[in-house]
Amino acid sequence: MVNPVLLLAVPLAAAFSIPLLGFLSKRSGKFIPLLAMAFNLAVSISLIPAVIQKPIVVSLGGFPPPFCITLFVGPVGILFTAIIALVGFVVSIYAMDYIREGARQQYHALFLLLLTGATGVVLTGDIFNLFVFFEILCISSYALVAYTGDRAGIESSCKYLIQGSLGSAFILIAIALLYGQFGTLNMADIASRIDSASPIRLFIPLVLFITGLGVEAAVFPLNAWLPDAHSSAPSTISAILSGIAVKIGIYAICRVIFTIFGATDISLFLMLLGLLTLLVGELSAFRQSDIKRMLAYSSTGQIGLIFFAMGVGTQAGITGGLFQFTTHALSKSLLFLATGYMIYRAGSKEISSLEGMGKKMPLTCLAFTIGAFSLIGLPPFIGFPSKFTIVYSVLAEKSTLYIVFIAIVLTGTVIEGAYFFRVIQAIYFKGEKEKGEGREAPLIALIPLVILTLLIIGIGIYPKILSGILNSSASELLDRIGYIKEVLR
Amino acid sequence: MRNLIGIVLILIVASGVFLCLDNIPFGASRENVGDFYNSSGVKQTGAVNMVTSVVLNYRGFDTLGEVTILFIASLGLGAVLSTVKTSSREETTPSSLILSTGCRFLFPFILLFGTYTFLHGHLTPGGGFQGGAIIASGFLLRYLGCPAKRTNPSLFVALESTGGLVFTLIGLLGLTLSGFFLFNFLPKGEANTLFSAGIIPVIYIAIGFKVGAELAGIIDGLIVKS
Amino acid sequence: MNFLNSYIFYIGAFGLIFIGIYILLTRKNLIKMIIGLSIIDTGVNLLLICMGFLKKGTAPIFSRPGIKPENMVDPTPQALVLTAIVIGVAVLAMALSLAIRLYQHYGTLDMRKIKEQKW
């Protein structure tokens, strides 16, 4: 059995070696993220059967748990690592041809480090280590959003940087207050001591954590940076940011709330926050005419839905939330990758300039349509079982307030359908523009689209493939006592 | 009006913080991991500077993450500033003979002091990051005092990548030799001598070169491109 | 007076943090906002160090054989602050390089005028 540390050590070593290999050959940089993510995917999938039985706790440095940093590889961690590795692998195939100008070596190194930071956040069991890897994720994304160097990119990156750093400062204040009260930084150790402290003293650290991590997770009042950043980044980076980075923020919030603080009675607050984010995202997406900005606001809406599902707090609700994670990661990446070449051929980001693309780029537009249908939640695609699980879990609570919530969620779905259908109508049913070239996207960009489409359809038809790991992940997140016992045996 | 709302919000947050801080008396001892590190640190790691043993041995993974963050900063700087044309600076007054000779004379001594700091990281206060910052300040002095001499930026890139790679490879070597990443596998020697504490001086040398090269590269990028 | 004596460091750390947040909210020059971020980082680092202090404690270094570990301050917050300072420097470097490019594109650093991204 492979030691899970390799999931982090090998990509780091690969990223450090990219500039050295750049001295030998200028074009070798683009293969390294590909190889590192393929390695991660293989290792994480091979560890799944062992992890579902019993989580692996790795101590780094050889000392017993609370005195060193531990990696806690449970079902949630390995599921997320597999998704990150898959999306990273697919996007790096696409990027081999899409990224043509600029400092390419730095792009590939930053890209690999972003994915490594994301993997580190989900696998760690120590709160300061979570902060360090979270910073790796955030700083790489500040640099990558500004990669194209045009006016929009630099301005969005500036605003993202200022808001993100403020969030990180809040997280650090919360860590300081927790260390001062409990004297330790290990998540299981803090969780075992936190029952002895009165709730009023834990209020400020909890609020600071939710605010600091919420900037990256883009929950309602803190999501002003998201539409600008996701629409001005290059399409591969938009796919990674929407598909992975915002979700890592949500994972971190859930880990802090459920495992460290054990605060399951703020579920109503979380559900309201999720609903508010959902409504703001979907309504704003409806009035956009720029396709990437529309997709970015749609990401905000989906994050609201995931947050709402996590807020329900029951086993079924969290299973639905994790399933929606997978759906959004696969579908939103597919949408952004398909849009990348559509915009490149059409020359502009307006929806009106994409009219008639359906005839000139049939495969790409088909991929876009499948991604859109999956996000709305139509039957043979992966979006249907995930949304169904969320709705079913909320209805199982049997409370009239929750029925109102479900009505709002379904309204959001209808609005989503409306703006996606507007784009699909423009692509397929409007007339062709006279000028503008329109060849199909190159083969190397079609391979990732095909892989993602097959996964979306495959899991949509047989959702039972994922149900085993999703159920054990949900029970791991909720089972605090089990977590503490595994680490501090 | 906006200022007033800001001040009211700050007062509310301040009172909440004060409630929390009430539980943390200033200057009292916390008995948990800190006491363990102080009492058994020398025996377990061989370093006499407890902060170094925490930074590199007990929490070495955080240091690896920190080294990565500096690497990202230097890569990001290279990516963002790559298309800026090197500005043709108007002829500033060339520095006087005393200034430029003085700077060139001081430069090797600053490098020596920085090297001493990171080499003795496990014996005296200091370490890789502090030593690297001192080395970078030597480079800054040279850029400001005698701007005619420039160092090749590729040297900085090569040094920083090699430093990071050495750190990760030492960790992986520890993994293969004993099953734990970043395990202290070299002999610990006698405490309070230079060749003690296992892998700690080796990692600090790598970090010292890396941080020095990185900060000097960042300074070089910002001075040249603005 | 006793209250002030025992809480002066906390007041100082949080005072720096609030001054930094105030600068971020009310100033419109980008360089001043970046300085505000740096002041917030300084305040947070001071708060972290305060968490490890021991009254009448000494540095945790066993420079002579025979020193007892009872009166030493906690070394963990110092390790955390080492990492946090480096993270602050990295963010500062990124922010300054973005400020250089922004000035090149727009000719001004006034954040109220740089609003090309609409609703």
- CA nearest C20 in A: which residue? A166
pLDDT in tens, A69-97: 999 999 999 999 999 999 999 999 999 88
pLDDT in tens, A206-228: 999 999 999 999 988 888 899 99
| pLDDT attached to residue C37 | 95
| pLDDT attached to residue B81 | 87
| pLDDT attached to residue B43 | 82
SS3 A387: helix
- Model confidence at A293, pLDDT cuts 50, 70, 90, reads very high
In a domain, residue B17? The reply is no
| pLDDT attached to residue B19 | 78
Instruction: Give the CA distances from residue A209 to residues A170, A196, A486, in Å, rounded to whole numbers and listed in that order.
Output: 7, 20, 25
- A135, A152, A162 ranked by CB distance to C37: nearest: A162
- C61 bridge partner residues: B49
Q: Do B58 and A129 touch (CB under 8 A)?
A: no
Does A61 touch chain B if contact means CB atoms closer than 8 Å? yes
- Model confidence at A324, pLDDT cuts 50, 70, 90, reads very high
Instruction: Give the CA distances from residue A261 to residues A195, A214, A264, A472, C16, in Å, rounded to whole numbers and listed in that order.
Output: 9, 16, 9, 21, 28
The tally of domains found in chain B comes to 1
| pLDDT attached to residue A444 | 85
pLDDT over 90 (residue A61): no
The tally of domains found in chain C comes to 1
pLDDT over 60 (residue A263): yes
pLDDT in tens, B1-51: 777 887 787 788 778 888 788 777 777 766 678 888 888 888 888 888 889
Question: What residues does each domain of chain A span?
Answer: 6-487
In a domain, residue B60? The reply is yes
Q: Which tokens hold the place of C110?
A: 């006034």
**A142-155: average pLDDT:** 90
Domain CATH code at residue C80: 1.10.287.3510
- Model confidence at B226, pLDDT cuts 50, 70, 90, reads low
In a domain, residue B43? The reply is no
Show the domain range for C101.
2-57+68-106
How many cross-chain Cβ pairs, A to C, lie less than 8 Å apart?
86
Q: Do B79 and A147 touch (CB under 8 A)?
A: yes
| pLDDT attached to residue C107 | 86
pLDDT over 60 (residue A434): no
pLDDT over 60 (residue B197): yes
Does A128 touch chain C if contact means CB atoms closer than 8 Å? yes
| pLDDT attached to residue A78 | 93
- Model confidence at B144, pLDDT cuts 50, 70, 90, reads confident
In a domain, residue B156? The reply is yes
| pLDDT attached to residue B74 | 93
C-beta separation of A452 from A333 below 8 A? yes
In a domain, residue B31? The reply is no
Please indicate whether residue A445 or residue A252 has the higher confidence score (pLDDT).
A252
Does B68 touch chain C if contact means CB atoms closer than 8 Å? no
> Within the 37-56 window of chain B, which residues sit less than 8 Å (CB to CB) from chain C?
37-39, 41-42, 48-51, 53-55
- A264 to chain B, closest Cα gap in Å: 21
Q: Do B80 and C63 touch (CB under 8 A)?
A: no
Q: Do B30 and A183 touch (CB under 8 A)?
A: yes
Between CA B68 and CA A143 the distance in angstroms is 14
| pLDDT attached to residue B92 | 66
- A20, A201, A204 ranked by CB distance to B158: nearest: A20
Does C88 touch chain B if contact means CB atoms closer than 8 Å? no
Between CA B118 and CA A209 the distance in angstroms is 35
| pLDDT attached to residue A416 | 92
- CA nearest B123 in C: which residue? C63
Q: Which residues contact B200 (CB under 8 A, 6 or more apart)?
A: B45, B46, B47, B52, B53, B56, B57, B121, B122, B184
Of the spans A184-193, B69-78, B194-203, which averages the highest pLDDT? B69-78
Between CA A192 and CA A289 the distance in angstroms is 51
Q: Which residues of B touch C12 (CB under 8 A)?
A: none
- A110 bridge partner residues: none
- B68, B160, B169 ranked by CB distance to A113: nearest: B68
- A155, A165, A176 ranked by CB distance to C91: nearest: A165
> What is the pTM (predicted TM-score) of this model?
0.95
- A59 bridge partner residues: A70
- C114 to chain A, closest Cα gap in Å: 8
Local confidence pLDDT in tens for the 119 residues of chain C: 667 777 888 889 989 998 998 899 888 899 999 999 999 999 999 999 988 888 878 888 887 777 777 788 888 999 999 999 999 999 999 999 999 999 988 888 888 887 766 65
Instruction: Give the CA distances from residue B93 to residues A235, A371, B96, B146, in Å, rounded to whole numbers and listed in that order.
Output: 47, 62, 9, 11
Q: Which residues of C touch A127 (CB under 8 A)?
A: none
- CA nearest B38 in A: which residue? A67
Q: Which residues of C touch A176 (CB under 8 A)?
A: 44, 47-48, 51, 77
pLDDT in tens, A385-419: 899 989 988 888 878 888 889 999 999 999 999 99
In a domain, residue B220? The reply is yes
- A3, A16, A203 ranked by CB distance to B164: nearest: A16
| pLDDT attached to residue B137 | 93
Show the domain range for B130.
49-82+97-224
C-beta separation of A117 from A11 below 8 A? no
C-beta separation of A329 from A455 below 8 A? no
- Model confidence at A315, pLDDT cuts 50, 70, 90, reads confident
In a domain, residue C72? The reply is yes
Between CA B220 and CA B86 the distance in angstroms is 12
**B128-144: average pLDDT:** 91
Does C11 touch chain B if contact means CB atoms closer than 8 Å? no
Q: Which residues contact B152 (CB under 8 A, 6 or more apart)?
A: none
Provide, rounded to the nearest whole percent, the portion of chain A with pLDDT above 70.
98
pLDDT over 80 (residue A266): yes
List chains adjacent to chain A, taking adjacency as at least 3 C-beta pairs closer than 8 Å.
B, C
The closest of A212, A190, A199 to A127, measured between CA atoms, is A190
> Within the 108-137 window of chain A, which residues sit less than 8 Å (CB to CB) from chain B?
109-110, 113, 116, 120, 128-129, 132-133, 135-136
